[in-house]
Structure formats: C-alpha cells, structure tokens
Amino acid sequence: MSEQAQCWINGRLMPGSEATVSVFDHGLLYGDGVFEGIRFYQGHAFRLHAHLKRLMDSAAAICLAIPYTQEELTQAVTDIVAAFAEPEGYLRLMVTRGVGPLGLNPASCTQPTVILIADHLSMISENQRQRGAKLVIASTRRLPADGLDGRIKSLNYLNNILARMEANQAGADEAILLNRNGHVAEGSAANIFIVRDAQLFTPHPVDGALQGITRSVIMELAVSEKIPATVCALTAYDLYTADECFLTGTGAELIPVREVDSRPLRHCPGPVFSRLAEAFTNVIYQETGIR
C-alpha cells in the first residue's frame, strides 16, 4: 500500500491507512466474493461499464446481491479517483458476502461488503517489459468449469497463486496454466495471445480463459487493424513455436513475451504486438480524453 492509497467501504471514503474490515467477513474467511481490477488514466476509468457488467455477472453467478446500482458504483469510482493524489492508477472493486458467523453457509451473511481501493499496481518493471517476459508452464492446472467457472472473478485466487509460486521458483515473470485437457487457459494474472504467420490466436473461455476486458479490446483492435484473429484451443506446442506471444490484462496492460519454458520466441516485441500496442494506447487516449 502506498501513502496515496484511498479506500471506499460501503459508501465511506477514507485514506487507505484507516481502512478496516471485520475478521468475520466471509470474503476474508472463505474467499466468498467477487472483484474487478480497473485502470484509470488522467482521472478517467477505462472501460468502466464493461468492468461493472462483468462484476454484476460474477455476482449473479454466485448468487451475491450487490447493494449498489451500476450508477451508484460509477459515482463511487468517480469519487475515489478524484480523491487519489495522482491522475493515473489502479482500482480494485470488491464485493464480499459480508460479515457472518463462522461456517461456510452464505445464508448466515445478511449484508454484503463493498470495497474500492485506489492505488498503484505494476505487474512487471519497465525494464522487464522492454526485454519481454519470461514464462513457464505451471504444473498447477486451471480448475475445471464444473469446479469453478473461470469466467467468475472470484476472490479465491489460490489456484492462480500456486501457479505464480512456480514462476517465482523458476525465476520467471509469469506462469501459464493449462486445463486438465492440456489446453492453454491463461496466465496467473493475464490473458495470453500468440501470433503465427501474422495471425492472432487466443484461448477460448471454455478452456478456462477469463473473458478479459483488455483481451476484448485487443480482439476489437485486431479487426480494425485487419489482423486475422481466432479464438481456439492452444497447447504448449503452440506457445513454443509461436512467432510472437504477449500477455494482456488490466494489471498487465500489454506485455511482450521473450521465452516460454526456456524456449526463445522468434520476435520480442514482434511487429503484430507493436501495431496492437500502439493502437491500444490510442484507444486509451480516445476513451479517457488524454491529449
């Protein structure tokens, strides 16, 4: 937490240093809740409507009633961004099941807790970003949809954390999770794209990929840039033999990849990544009013 961090909890704005939650909150006790990560640029949240829509979908999937409308949450975002000391940063919007007695039963919680945090987030240093990320394929597998659907942005990220621990132990920047069929799902905290023969490929959500907001922007840009793009099943072989590879996400933004499991890729950054990165920056400029 930085000194500039701000928090908004159930309608009350405060410095991050003063923010507290109950030890009996089921978000803390059991990871029972959902969240969104949102970037803001020059005081404007990027693709806020899409983030709030996904938050509502995640909450609906776990039968969690959010006690604020999208309009009220939009105002909360506006307020916390205005209170933050800098024009650019990262928001974490969380909705937990709320305070309740010990025990898993969600029916024991009567009032959800809604939390907004404004602070800085950097998944990778600028030096690492320029060099390109080093990835490893984790032995930890993505949970199947009949266990926990990957489209739900749950507060329980232990599956992802275990994969990231493998990356740390291997001296890598990020881990890639496969599903139980051996298909590529995503990174521990980012979606993944590859380029082969000037065509773009990314895993399908049915294989465990989050329907990422930045991922969707890249798919839109591929159309406008006339880059053929396909959502399909990918395996480790596809990563190893790709011309280019890159990660996308609200936290990650866009990160080129230089190697996967010690196999160097042909280009980093490659020409397709460079085109999309420039177009992505232009979209941010257009949608947040940066001049």
Q: What percent of the chain has pLDDT over 90?
A: 90
Q: Does residue 204 surpass a pLDDT of 70?
A: yes
Tell me the pLDDT tens digit for each residue of 35-81. 999 999 999 999 999 999 999 999 999 999 999 999 999 999 999 99
Residue 32 burial (CB count, 10 A): 22
Tell me the backbone φ, ψ of residue 26, rounded to 5 degrees.
Answer: -70, -15
**243, 182 in Cβ contact below 8 A?**
no
Distance CA 129, CA 205 (A): 26
Distance CA 9, CA 76 (A): 10
Task: Return mean pLDDT, the chain.
Answer: 95
Give CA separation, 35 vs 56, 113, 247, in Å: 10, 12, 20
Q: DSSP per residue over 25-89, as a string?
A: BHHHHH--EEEEEEEEETTEETTHHHHHHHHHHHHHHTT---SS-HHHHHHHHHHHHHHSSSS-E
Q: Is 153 an annotated catalytic residue?
A: yes
CA pseudo-torsion sign 59, 64, 69, 73: negative
Distance CA 168, CA 166 (A): 5
Distance CA 261, CA 107 (A): 45
Distance CA 185, CA 143 (A): 10
**Helical axes 48-61 vs 213-224, angle rounded to 10°:** 130
Of 19-23, 54-58, 286-290, least confident by mean pLDDT is: 286-290
Distance CA 241, CA 201 (A): 13
Instruction: Single out the catalytic residue among 53, 134, 153, 226.
Output: 153
Domains of the chain: 6-119 (3.30.470.10), 126-288 (3.20.10.10)
**87, 43 in Cβ contact below 8 A?**
yes
> Would you say the pTM of this structure is higher than 0.85?
yes
For residue 215, give every residue at least 6 positions away whose Cβ sits within 8 Å of its Cβ, in sequence order, or none.
191, 193, 202, 209, 248, 249
Tell me the pLDDT tens digit for each residue of 86-139. 999 999 999 999 999 999 999 999 999 999 999 999 888 888 888 999 999 999
Residue 104 burial (CB count, 10 A): 10
Tell me the backbone φ, ψ of residue 151, rounded to 5 degrees.
Answer: -80, -10
Q: What is the pLDDT of residue 224?
A: 96
For residue 119, give every residue at least 6 positions away whose Cβ sits within 8 Å of its Cβ, in sequence order, or none.
1, 2, 4, 5, 6, 16, 89, 90, 92
Q: What is the pLDDT of residue 290?
A: 55
